[in-house]
């Protein structure tokens, strides 16, 4: 029997609040692959829509470092033999088996054409990996004619373009021979500090260089996500289901899962009292501990290791007063001293402003004082011991 191992995944959320619409456009997702395989499958998901979403055409190919498809590698991406198919609300869909040799260092390019006029509401932002075309079906085009729509937020805060939001793609799975040693599959489970990729992306590059063909890293971050509470009404679901609830769908469904890096909590501290989140949803150490033990027990029962990332330091301000900072430190103490984790990743010390012991150094922080910038992300990534993933 062949083995299945996930090489790429994203966590879905409710995108109804985002203003961009991919109708009549092609979205191309570039997937850096580090696994060997004989064939691939693509999984789609539509959990937050109230009507079917149509894919008008779909393909998969290999791409070069300049995001150009390699001639002769393009394959139709089909479901039940068709490149046009519907994704029903609340359901997942697995593609047909696609014969396509995969090797470490290759890039898989999945192209999806959305013909419908209805706004697609279920998916996630993957501007780190995706491009959004001008109008038209460009699934077989060697070079995607890109739509240049950069928002002010993308330019000022984020290292990626939120207008290239893709939807419906959930996972890419590689089929392997069982004669090859099983790879490590690492799910990165967190919020925007994880999703934005400033530290996950360079860490992934280090892991792929060190463990060629032996590991895959899946970024399952959702911006604004909290561990214990769902998105507030004003966010219209954009911040996602509570981590404790989405854990089963986003993490436990991963083929070949061996490690989870868990890094949630900053929004459980920072959101209450802001953006329509009631103060009563401010968590306690005890509540956090109970939920963390729950997911750790489930993973350990499956033979999966769980590593906890410490909650990053942030600026003290009106929305994050000194009392919240003390809670952050208390949560981190529990993670270190009592947490049920196989290892703890100190994500904060490499970027912390040790002169005043509060927040990140300016050269390592985005203007919001909450997220590490590209320089900060690299410092964090470089501090992580790769032997944890042997």
DSSP state string for 154-189:
HHHT-SS-GGG-EESEEEEEEEE-TTSPPPEEEEEE
Rounded distance, CA 301 to CA 327, Å?
A: 30
Q: Which of 42, 50, 17, 377 is nearest to 223 (CA)?
A: 17
* pLDDT, greater one: 168 or 289: 289
Across the range 20-29, mean pLDDT stands at 85
User: In angstroms, how far is the first alpha carbon of the chain from the final one?
Assistant: 25
pLDDT tens, residue by residue, 337-357: 999 999 999 999 999 988 766
Give the number of residues written for the chain.
390
Question: Lowest-pLDDT range, 179-193, 244-258, 266-280?
Answer: 266-280
The answer to whether residue 387 scores a pLDDT higher than 70 is yes
User: Do 382 and 210 meet the contact criterion of CB atoms below 8 Å apart?
Assistant: no
Rounded distance, CA 98 to CA 264, Å?
A: 35
Q: Which of 241, 288, 232, 240 is nearest to 265 (CA)?
A: 288
b or e along 328-366 (b: 16 or more beta carbons within 10 Å of the residue's beta carbon)? beebbebbeeebbbbeebebbebbbbeeeeebbbeebbb
Residue-level pLDDT at 122: 83
Across the range 294-306, mean pLDDT stands at 98
Query: How distant is the alpha carbon of residue 213 from its chain centre?
Result: 21
* pLDDT, greater one: 1 or 286: 286
pLDDT tens, residue by residue, 211-230: 999 999 999 999 999 999 99
Residue-level pLDDT at 127: 64
pLDDT tens, residue by residue, 124-155: 876 667 788 889 999 999 999 987 655 455 55
């Amino acid at each position: 029997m062949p083995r299945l191992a996930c090489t790429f995944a994203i966590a879905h959320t409710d995108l109804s609040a985002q203003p961009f619409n991919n109708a009549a456009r092609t979205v191309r997702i570039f997937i850096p692959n580090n696994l060997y395989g004989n064939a691939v499958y693509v999984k789609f998901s539509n959990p937050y829509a109230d009507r079917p979403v149509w894919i008008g055409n779909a393909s998969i190919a290999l791409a070069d470092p300049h995001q150009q498809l390699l001639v002769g590698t393009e394959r139709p991406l089909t479901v039940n033999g068709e490149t046009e198919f519907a994704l029903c609300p609340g359901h997942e869909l697995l593609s047909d088996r696609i014969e396509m040799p995969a090797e470490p260092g290759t890039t898989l390019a999945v192209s999806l054409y959305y013909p419908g006029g209805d706004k697609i509401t279920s998916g996630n932002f993957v501007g780190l990996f995706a491009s959004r075309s001008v109008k038209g079906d460009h699934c077989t085009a060697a070079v995607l004619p890109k739509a240049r729509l950069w928002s002010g937020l993308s330019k000022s805060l984020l290292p990626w373009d939120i207008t290239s939001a893709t939807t419906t793609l959930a996972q890419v799975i590689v089929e392997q021979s069982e004669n090859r040693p099983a790879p490590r599959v690492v799910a990165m489970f967190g919020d925007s500090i994880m999703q934005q990729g400033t530290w996950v992306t360079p860490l992934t590059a280090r892991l792929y260089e060190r463990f060629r063909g032996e590991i895959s890293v899946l970024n399952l971050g959702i911006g604004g996500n909290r561990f214990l509470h769902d998105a507030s009404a004003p966010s219209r679901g954009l911040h996602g289901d509570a981590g404790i609830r989405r854990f089963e769908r986003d993490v436990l469904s991963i083929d070949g899962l061996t490690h989870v890096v868990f890094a949630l909590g900053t929004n459980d501290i920072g959101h209450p009292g802001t953006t329509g989140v009631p103060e009563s949803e401010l968590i306690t150490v005890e509540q956090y501990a109970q939920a963390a033990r729950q997911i750790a027990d489930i993973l350990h029962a499956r033979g999966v290791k769980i590593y906890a990332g410490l909650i990053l330091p942030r600026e003290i301000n009106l929305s994050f007063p000194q009392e919240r900072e003390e809670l952050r430190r208390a949560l981190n103490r529990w993670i270190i001293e009592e947490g049920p984790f196989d290892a703890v990743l100190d994500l904060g010390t490499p970027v912390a402003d040790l002169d005043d012991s509060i927040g990140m150094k300016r050269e390592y922080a985005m203007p919001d004082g909450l997220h590490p910038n590209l320089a900060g992300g690299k410092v964090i990534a470089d501090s992580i011991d790769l032997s944890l993933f042997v």
